[in-house]
């Protein structure tokens, strides 16, 4: 596989640092550029970055000059960790100039011509890339991953929707502090506390889930016809989003059928074996007290979603608890896997 040069946009922030760390030693991608705001101008990456990752800053990144206020980068692929609200125009401009942009930001997720992708769930939605290229008359394009909470939910709904159809979903999230970025939530707000509101989060879950599970139809995605209710909360956990999920299925299923759907889910053949793809996208735990963030967030090198407590629901049909890494599968790792899939599809 040809090695491709990649840039990280918004490289000094928490998600940007996660991209930099995950790209270290990647067999297909080589970090060649880091890009950030003007306050980093003239600095090396080591000088400009308050490094938050537990492992040391990759040596190859330390001396890179931080680029600012430019769209001229020595890279084929851009991984975008530009903050929401600022990302959209910059990502569109990088794409217009011929770069393949894989974004973690919210700004363009619901645009009709922009794929919103989880590789194992709806990798075929990358077909929208050709629509983008034709409209922009450019070889560049933007692909987004989803909100970290939505990714955990949609990953677990996919096998159920394929096997039985999903009509209604009720979800309550218990979201980790790292999902709020750095410095995140004030310690006096979250210590010994649960905050039952995260601005904009529930709206993202309601909008993004049907697009993930929808059907690609020429130049747009037809959202999956399902009703979703979401309550999103912040809890004093550092990493790993936990979700209590109840579903009503279009076709009745027995417990063993639901279990089999989860355990057999692998995603398309073209995703299996990609460098960032876990062997098992969904891991089922049989213990009555799992999954737990501290014990299970690292499953599949932080790329698997862990499911447990599968049982009948007295209001809908079935309920379960799901857990996934919000900073890897739900952010940087998911975008890198999307880029790997795009490479195998010869979109670059």
DSSP 8-state symbol, 281 = S
d(CA 325, CA 219): 32
Of the residues 125, 148, 161, 232, only one is catalytic, namely 148
Q: Are 82 and 142 in contact (CB under 8 A)?
A: no
Q: Please provide residue 309's backbone torsions phi and psi, each rounded to the nearest 5 degrees.
A: 55, 45
What would the two tokens of residue 125 be?
């939605």
The question of whether 78 is a catalytic residue gets the answer no
d(CA 320, CA 314): 13
d(CA 305, CA 76): 30
Classify each residue of 106-136 as buried b or exposed e, where b means 16 or more C-beta atoms within 10 Å of its C-beta: bbbbebebbbbbbbbbbbebbbbbebbbeeb
CB atoms inside a 10 Å sphere around CB 41:
13
Q: Which residue has the tokens 């600012």?
A: 68
Q: Which residue has the tokens 């014990």?
A: 295
DSSP 8-state symbol, 107 = T
User: Any long-range contacts for 85-94 (C-beta under 8 Å, 24+ apart)?
Assistant: 87/10, 90/9, 91/9, 91/142, 92/142, 94/9, 94/140
Classify each residue of 240-264 as buried b or exposed e, where b means 16 or more C-beta atoms within 10 Å of its C-beta: bbbbebbbbbeeebeeeebbebbee
Residues that are catalytic: 148, 241
């Amino acid at each position: 596989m040809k090695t491709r040069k990649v840039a990280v946009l918004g490289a000094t922030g928490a998600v940007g640092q996660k991209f930099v760390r995950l790209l270290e030693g990647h067999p297909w991608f080589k970090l060649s550029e880091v890009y950030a705001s003007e306050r980093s101008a003239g600095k090396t990456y080591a000088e400009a970055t308050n490094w938050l990752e537990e492992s040391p800053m990759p040596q190859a990144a330390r001396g890179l000059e931080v680029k600012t206020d430019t769209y001229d980068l020595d890279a084929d692929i851009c991984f975008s960790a530009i903050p929401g609200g600022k990302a959209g125009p910059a990502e569109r401009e990088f794409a217009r100039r011929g770069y393949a942009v894989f974004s973690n930001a919210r700004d363009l997720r619901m645009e009709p011509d922009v794929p919103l992708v989880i590789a194992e769930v709806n990798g075929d939605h990358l077909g929208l890339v050709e629509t983008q290229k034709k409209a922009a008359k450019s070889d560049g394009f933007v692909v987004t991953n989803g909100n970290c909470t939505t990714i955990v939910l949609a990953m677990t709904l996919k096998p159920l929707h394929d096997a039985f159809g999903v009509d209604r979903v009720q979800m309550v999230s218990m979201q980790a502090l790292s999902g709020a970025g750095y410095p995140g939530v004030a310690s006096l707000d979250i210590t010994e506390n649960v905050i039952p509101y995260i601005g904009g989060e529930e709206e993202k879950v309601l909008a993004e889930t049907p697009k993930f599970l929808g059907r690609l139809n020429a130049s747009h995605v037809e959202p999956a016809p399902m009703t979703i209710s979401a309550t999103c909360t912040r809890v004093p956990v550092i990493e790993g989003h936990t979700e209590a999920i109840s579903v009503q299925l279009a076709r009745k299923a027995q417990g063993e059928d639901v279990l089999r759907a989860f355990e057999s889910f692998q995603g398309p053949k073209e995703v299996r074996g990609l460098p960032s793809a876990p062997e098992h996208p969904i891991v089922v735990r049989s213990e009555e007290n799992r999954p737990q963030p501290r014990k299970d967030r690292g499953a599949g090198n932080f790329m698997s979603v862990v499911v447990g407590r599968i049982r009948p629901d007295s209001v809908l049909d079935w309920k379960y608890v799901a857990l996934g890494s919000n900073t890897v599968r739900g952010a940087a790792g998911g975008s890198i896997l999307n880029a790997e899939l795009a490479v195998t599809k010869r979109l670059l």
